[in-house]
């Protein structure tokens, strides 16, 4: 794989625009050029004057290219380029740079002068490099520049001294940087064998950071990082704090309630002492809180907590007391709820639009369960043990649910709630054997219906003639996606009238015959894999079909396959003889070679008549020939005899 040597040359001549855009994506609306083909070797970059963003991602660039003077470039990204160094003069021709992204390279340091010329620099992203010495980053900015964002996450930082003065920055990201401890006076990094291991070589005095500027602090994923309570006080004014996967001190909750001005706090998977396994803390300005994986059994938010979003996944929660009426979104996946959580009496969480309770232990949805959440839009209660949903669980009017996920439960029947704005309903992986005839009437807007992996779904309507819940599918006039895979379906459904349907999944059923005439004409995706289909018919009528799967079916090697050839040849799996095959007699053949030679079927009735006529003509010809032959024979036979006799008479005397 030889690398294409290319000199990008993009000047004011419109003709050379094509050169660059032939190798990269050019978006002249956002004034952005994106190059990400690994085979491209960029040596010199010159751009049309109006280009403002250049992304050179995933290229092979051990060194940055040579840039020609271009004061309008604001954003330069060179991520995943295998870059080992950045020469000091690299950005001199680009004085207008505001954002530099050098993430995911092999940089060990930056030369002290490389950023000095950039008066407008706001964002410097150095994530996932090999920078170990923070001293070398002191004083690298142009005087007076205050960075909006400095991201050093994923660097193996080992050296920092009292000489380390952090570039002034508002959002500081130090995730996964080998931090060992933070207290009110120093940030300490872990010892790295081979580097100076003394304490003075691996710590920054806190006062070398311009704390009053800091709004965002990310110390996450420093697994052994001990955060001292004195350090919390230092960062009280930060609004975004991510301390996930660290160790928090006693007094953290008190800090949050009394001192912190944080709006968004992530302390997921932190080690922290929890009083009586209960989380109750809330900050005065707290909007978003992630307390996943901290081992909490109970959760309590009082009326005065301004919280809007809470993530409390992977805990041991079985009860919650939520009186915080501003809450909009609650994520309680993978907890121990066995009863449906409802707010305290008299409280309605009118702002709540998202509630996720998947992977819990609930067995039923009680009457009026959703009454306290009148504006709920997204409700996920999948992966529980629900065997029953009370007919009055959903309020009879007014619920504006948009998505409802009941998958992976043990439901065998469902009430028929009226959900006029529901777009997505997932009933997969239950044991549903019957759906009320009125079930679909209450779901006029439904676009996606997933009802796969219900093995008993058709047990009450084993064949096409018996009345079936599926007869009512045509009431779903907005349906776009339908998934009825793995549900024991033996016949092909009449779905012709679902004009909006684009995707139909019927994998893993027992369908033997499929006539495309019963399928919706606008279908784009059809999955018939793992069925018992032998013949397909009328597929040429599905003009919009783009993705057809019929793998693992006992197809006949037969002219009826001719119709599906154009749909199948687009299928990358079709060349796999373990997935796509056909039978002739009892022999199994790979499908692809057969498709290459298959001919259209000739209409069998016309065929019959033509054979009949041909046979008749041939028979007539034979009879006529026989009669004619007989007559000719009769006519000449005597003469021939005569001739013969005469000759013999003539001859005899000769012999005598
Ligand atoms: C902060 O930590 C450093 C190093 O662990 C230690 O020397 C110093 O005494 C600590 N300061 C306070 C106030 O605890
Ligand atoms: C912190 O930033 C402010 C405002 O930019 C500046 O006046 C002050 O000198 C800085 N302090 C340090 C220690 O850098
Ligand atoms: C936080 O901000 C307040 C005023 O906005 C200021 O008085 C206080 O000193 C700041 N605290 C810290 C730790 O910077
Ligand atoms: C909190 O941090 C964890 C781990 O770093 C991350 O996976 C999660 O998405 C974060 N939570 C939020 C709400 O951003
Ligand atoms: C294909 O459609 C025609 C009507 O156009 C129908 O008569 C025929 O039965 C269908 N083919 C098969 C094999 O079902
Ligand atoms: C096959 O793929 C090509 C290109 O993606 C597309 O233009 C064509 O319409 C597809 N044909 C079918 C039958 O899906």
Ligand 1 within 6 A of CB of 239? no
Q: What is the DSSP string of 46-65?
A: ---TT--EEEE-S---SS--
Tokens in use for 82? 């295998």
Nearest CA to ligand 4 atom 4: 244
Are 372 and 397 in contact by the 8 Å Cβ rule? The answer is no
Nearest CA to ligand 6 atom 8: 546
Predicted structure pTM score? 0.83
Burial 26-53 (b: 16+ CB within 10 A, else e): beeeebbbebeeeebbbeebbbbeebbb
| Contact residues of ligand 2, CB 6 A cut-off | 146, 168, 210, 213
Tell me the pairing of strands 44-45 and 66-67.
parallel
Instruction: Tell me the backbone φ, ψ of residue 530, rounded to 5 degrees.
Output: 55, 45
Are 520 and 499 in contact by the 8 Å Cβ rule? The answer is yes
Distance between Cα 268 and ligand 4 center (Å): 7
Q: How far apart are CA 523 and CA 505, in angstroms?
A: 11
Instruction: Tell me the backbone φ, ψ of residue 229, rounded to 5 degrees.
Output: -65, -25
Within 10 A of 13 (CB to CB), how many other CB atoms are there?
10
Q: How confident is the model over 127-172, as pLDDT tens digits?
A: 999 999 988 888 889 999 999 999 999 999 998 887 888 889 999 9
| Contact residues of ligand 4, CB 6 A cut-off | 220-221, 244, 266, 268, 290, 311
CA distances from 562 to 538, 568, 585 (A): 10, 10, 19
Ligand 1 within 6 A of CB of 188? yes
Nearest ligand 4 atom to the CA of 309 is 13
Which of 511, 517, 542, 603 best tests ligand 5's pocket when mutated (most atoms within 8 Å of CB)?
Answer: 517
Q: What is the DSSP string of 167-182?
A: PPEEEEE-TTS-EEEE
Nearest ligand 3 atom to the CA of 212 is 14
Selection from 475, 473, 455, 471 nearest residue 463 by Cα: 471
Tell me the pairing of strands 547-549 and 448-450.
unpaired
Distance between Cα 28 and ligand 6 center (Å): 29
DSSP 625: H
Q: What is the DSSP string of 107-137?
A: -----TTTTTT-TT--EEE--SS---BGGGG
328: three-class secondary structure by DSSP: coil
CA distances from 141 to 120, 121, 154, 242, 408 (A): 10, 8, 21, 26, 55
pLDDT reported for residue 630: 65
Bridge partners of 513, per DSSP, are 535
Q: How confident is the model over 396-435, as pLDDT tens digits?
A: 776 899 999 999 999 999 988 889 999 999 999 999 998 8
Q: How far apart are CA 161 and CA 195, in angstroms?
A: 13
Are 51 and 30 in contact by the 8 Å Cβ rule? The answer is no
159: three-class secondary structure by DSSP: strand
Distance between Cα 514 and ligand 5 center (Å): 11
pLDDT reported for residue 603: 60
Sign of CA dihedral 574, 575, 576, 579: positive
Within 10 A of 120 (CB to CB), how many other CB atoms are there?
12
Q: How far apart are CA 465 and CA 461, in angstroms?
A: 8
Q: How confident is the model over 598-636, as pLDDT tens digits?
A: 888 876 555 555 556 666 666 767 777 777 766 666 665
Q: How far apart are CA 185 and CA 182, in angstroms?
A: 8
Nearest CA to ligand 3 atom 14: 212
> Exposed, middle or buried by CB within 10 Å (0-12, 13-18, 19+), for 467?
exposed
Burial 55-72 (b: 16+ CB within 10 A, else e): bbbbbebeebbebeebee
In which residue ranges of the chain is pLDDT below 50?
A: 1-18, 638-656
Within 10 A of 198 (CB to CB), how many other CB atoms are there?
10
Indicate which ligand has the atom closest to the C-alpha of 518.
5
Which of 183, 203, 207, 232 best tests ligand 1's pocket when mutated (most atoms within 8 Å of CB)?
Answer: 183
Distance between Cα 264 and ligand 4 center (Å): 11
Distance between Cα 303 and ligand 3 center (Å): 27
Distance between Cα 533 and ligand 6 center (Å): 23
Tokens in use for 237? 């004014």
Tokens in use for 380? 């996920």
Tokens in use for 91? 């950005």
């Amino acid at each position: 794989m030889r690398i294409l040597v290319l000199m990008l040359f993009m000047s004011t001549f419109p003709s050379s625009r094509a050169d660059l855009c032939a190798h990269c994506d050019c978006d002249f609306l956002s004034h952005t050029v994106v190059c990400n083909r690994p085979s491209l070797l960029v040596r010199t970059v010159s751009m049309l004057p109006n280009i403002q963003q250049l992304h050179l991602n995933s290229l092979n660039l051990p060194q940055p290219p040579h840039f020609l003077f271009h004061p309008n470039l604001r954003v330069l990204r060179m991520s995943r380029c295998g870059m080992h160094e950045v020469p000091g003069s690299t950005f001199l021709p680009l004085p207008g740079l505001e954002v530099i992204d050098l993430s995911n390279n092999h940089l060990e340091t930056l030369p002290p002068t490389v950023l000095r010329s950039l008066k407008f620099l706001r964002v410097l992203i150095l994530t996932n490099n090999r920078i170990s010495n923070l001293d070398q980053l002191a004083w690298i900015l142009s005087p007076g520049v205050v960075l909006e964002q400095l991201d050093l996450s994923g660097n193996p930082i080992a050296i920092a001294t009292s000489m380390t003065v952090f570039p002034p920055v508002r959002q500081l990201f130090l995730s996964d940087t080998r931090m060992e401890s933070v207290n009110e006076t120093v940030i300490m990094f872990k010892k790295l064998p081979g580097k100076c291991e003394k304490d003075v070589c691996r710590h920054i005095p806190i006062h070398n950071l311009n704390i009053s500027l800091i709004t965002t602090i990310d110390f996450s994923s420093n697994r052994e990082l001990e955060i001292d309570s004195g350090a919390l006080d230092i960062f009280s004014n930060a609004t975004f704090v991510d301390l996930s996967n660290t160790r928090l001190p006693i007094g953290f909750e008190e800090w949050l309630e009394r001192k912190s001005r944080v709006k968004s706090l992530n302390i997921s998977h932190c080690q922290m002492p929890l009083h009586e396994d209960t989380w109750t803390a809330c900050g005065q300005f707290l909007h978003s809180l992630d307390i996943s994986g901290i081992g909490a059994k109970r959760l309590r938010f009082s009326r005065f907590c301004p919280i809007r979003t809470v993530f409390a996944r992977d805990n041991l929660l079985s009860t919650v007391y939520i009186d915080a009426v501003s809450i909009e979104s609650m994520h309680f996946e993978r907890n121990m709820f066995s009863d449906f959580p409802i707010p305290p009496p008299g409280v309605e969480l009118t702002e709540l639009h998202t509630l996720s309770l998947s992977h819990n232990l609930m067995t039923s949805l009680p009457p009026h369960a959703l009454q306290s959440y009148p504006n709920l839009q997204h409700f996920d209660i999948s992966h529980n043990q629900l065997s029953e949903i009370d007919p009055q669980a959903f309020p009879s009017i007014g619920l504006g649910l948009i998505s409802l996920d009941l998958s992976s439960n043990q439901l065998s029947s469902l009430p028929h709630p009226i959900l006029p704005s529901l777009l997505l309903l997932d009933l997969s992986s239950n044991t549903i054997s019957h759906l009320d005839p009125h079930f679909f009437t209450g779901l006029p807007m439904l676009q996606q219906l997933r009802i796969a992996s219900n093995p008993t779904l058709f047990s009450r309507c084993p064949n096409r003639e018996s009345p079936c819940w599926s007869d009512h599918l045509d009431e779903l006039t907005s349906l776009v996606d339908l998934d009825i895979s793995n549900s024991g379906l033996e016949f092909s459904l009449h779905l012709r009238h679902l004009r909006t349907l684009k995707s139909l999944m019927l994998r893993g059923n027992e369908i033997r015959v499929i006539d495309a005439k019963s399928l919706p004409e606008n279908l784009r995706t059809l999955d018939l894999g793992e069925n018992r289909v032998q013949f397909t018919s009328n597929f040429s009528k599905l003009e919009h079909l783009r993705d057809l799967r019929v793998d693992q079916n006992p197809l006949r090697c037969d002219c009826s396959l001719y119709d599906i050839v154009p749909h199948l040849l687009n299928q990358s799996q079709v060349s796999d003889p373990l997935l796509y095959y056909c039978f002739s007699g009892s022999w199994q053949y790979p499908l692809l070679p057969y498709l290459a030679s298959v001919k259209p079927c000739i209409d069998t009735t016309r065929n019959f008549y033509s054979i009949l006529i041909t046979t008749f003509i041939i028979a007539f010809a034979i009879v006529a020939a026989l009669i004619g032959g007989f007559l000719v024979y009769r006519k000449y036979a005597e003469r021939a005899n005569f001739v013969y006799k005469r000759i013999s008479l003539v001859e005899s005397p000769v012999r005598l």
